[in-house]
Amino acid sequence: MKPRLLVTGAAGFLGGHLIQQAEKDFTISGTLHRTPATGIPGVTFHVCDLRQPEEVRILLYRVRPEVIIHTACSERGEGLQAIVPAAALLAMQAAERGIRFIHLSTDQVFDGETAPYTENCPTNPINPYGQAKAQAEEVIASVNSKATVVRTSLLYDLRIPDRQTKQLIQTAQTGEPYRLFTDEFRCPVWVENLSEVLLELAGKDYAGILNLGSPERLNRWDLGMKLLTHFGITPTPNIQQGTIEESGLVRPKDLTMDSTKAQRLLSTTFLRIDDAMEHLSS
Ligand SMILES: NC(=O)c1ccc[n+]([C@@H]2O[C@H](COP(=O)([O-])OP(=O)(O)OC[C@H]3O[C@@H](n4cnc5c(N)ncnc54)[C@H](OP(=O)(O)O)[C@@H]3O)[C@@H](O)[C@H]2O)c1
């Protein structure tokens, strides 16, 4: 019998990839909120607002998961307001029912001033999204000592352009001015690579915070150029280098993360973007 896995946010970017990749090893259920499901054979979908205690209780009663990977509630749309209540409810219910709970957090719990960040670095978020995720991490730690909190970095896709890459490609076509920061650093992860890592992690009983970023630090400009080239788009002169400094925006500059702990714990290889592209074409 395959273990029962519940993926929250199954119509989201990461959740959608997870349910596709989990099919071989898990019996999969996924939650939906406003966005309808794209039919994936073998996946059972449940509409659920994860802020609502009764809906969550019924969901867990019906699915009886052995593992929950909680990807729902990002910085987009209504998700931001749901980050803390949904994490609290799920973490608490999972602890009461003995369900393995993996929560998706972000590198944006840091201010970007003292990179590289290990799991032990103190958080200091500087935007509402980072603040909500940092608060969710604290709540989870207080109600579920066995939970895993995964901090990941910027996610990209290599098959279909992700939301930000789509925007960049459109900009190359429309000619609107667009700046990619050279002073903003992340450890971007291919969404399929992260999904594979998370599914391996589902079978481990690691508790606490775990960094899951790629082993490579890239600035936004370099990442954008690599993705444009990958999708066969010639960069246009309207796409220019810029800096956070000049833009006047308040953004974490350097969110380089140290993921050596996860690399030691897991056998899945953490791919740099060039390795991911090679992996895809092989
Ligand atoms: N994408 C990244 O670059 C990145 C980087 C670091 C960390 N993360 C974290 O990784 C996770 C996955 O990110 P993602 O980009 O895949 O997110 P996403 O595409 O925005 O998906 C989030 C999902 O959450 C659902 N949701 C929102 N409010 C809900 C509620 N009240 N009840 C139930 N579901 C709700 C949304 O459903 P509806 O749209 O139907 O409302 C959506 O399907 C998130 O926790 C995010 O914070 C992402």
CATH number of residue 11's parent domain: 3.40.50.720
Whether 12 lines ligand 1, by a CB cut-off of 6 Å, is yes
Q: How high is the pLDDT of residue 132? A: 97
Whether 71 lines ligand 1, by a CB cut-off of 6 Å, is yes
Residue nearest to atom 20 of ligand 1 (CA): 74
In testing the pocket of ligand 1, which one of 74, 76, 187 has its CB within 8 Å of the most ligand atoms?
74
Residue 241 lies in a domain: no
Whether 130 lines ligand 1, by a CB cut-off of 6 Å, is no
The pLDDT of residue 38 is above 80: no
Query: Is 149 within 8 Å of 208 (Cβ atoms)?
Result: yes
Note if the pTM is more than 0.75.
yes
Q: How high is the pLDDT of residue 207? A: 98
Locate tokens 């066969």: which residue? 232
Q: Looking at ligand 1, which atom is closest to the CA of residue 51? A: 31
Residue 244 lies in a domain: no
Residue nearest to atom 46 of ligand 1 (CA): 74
Confidence tier at 41 by pLDDT (50, 70, 90): confident
Q: Looking at ligand 1, which atom is closest to the CA of residue 155? A: 3
In this predicted model, what pLDDT tens digit does every residue of 77-108 receive, in sequence order? Answer: 888 999 999 999 999 999 999 999 999 999 99
Q: What percent of the chain has pLDDT over 90?
A: 95
Amino acid code (one letter) for 138:
E
3-state helix, strand, coil in the chain (%, to 5): 40, 20, 40
Confidence tier at 40 by pLDDT (50, 70, 90): confident
Q: How high is the pLDDT of residue 4? A: 98
Q: What percent of the chain has pLDDT over 70?
A: 100
Q: Looking at ligand 1, which atom is closest to the CA of residue 16? A: 16
Q: How high is the pLDDT of residue 263? A: 98
Q: Would you call 120 exposed, middle or buried from its count of C-beta atoms within 10 A (0-12, 13-18, 19+)?
A: exposed
Query: Is 50 within 8 Å of 90 (Cβ atoms)?
Result: yes
Residue 202 lies in a domain: yes
Residue 164 lies in a domain: no
In this predicted model, what pLDDT tens digit does every residue of 199-248 receive, in sequence order? Answer: 999 999 999 999 999 999 999 999 999 999 999 999 999 999 999 999 99
Residue 281 lies in a domain: no
Residue range 152-173: mean pLDDT, rounded: 96
Amino acid code (one letter) for 200:
E
Q: How high is the pLDDT of residue 280? A: 96
Residue 176 lies in a domain: no
The pLDDT of residue 159 is above 80: yes
Contacts of 5 (CB under 8 A, 6+ apart): 22, 26, 27, 28, 29, 65, 66, 67, 68, 69, 202
Whether 255 lines ligand 1, by a CB cut-off of 6 Å, is no
Whether 51 lines ligand 1, by a CB cut-off of 6 Å, is yes
Its domain, for residue 30, covers 4-155+190-214+255-271
Q: How high is the pLDDT of residue 145? A: 98
Q: How many domains does the chain have?
A: 1
Question: What is the Cα–Cα distance from 88 to 109, expressed in whole angstroms?
Answer: 17
Please name which of 6, 26, 27 lies closest in space to residue 15, comparing C-alpha atoms. 6
Tokens of 57: 């209780």
Residue 31 lies in a domain: yes
Residue 236 lies in a domain: no
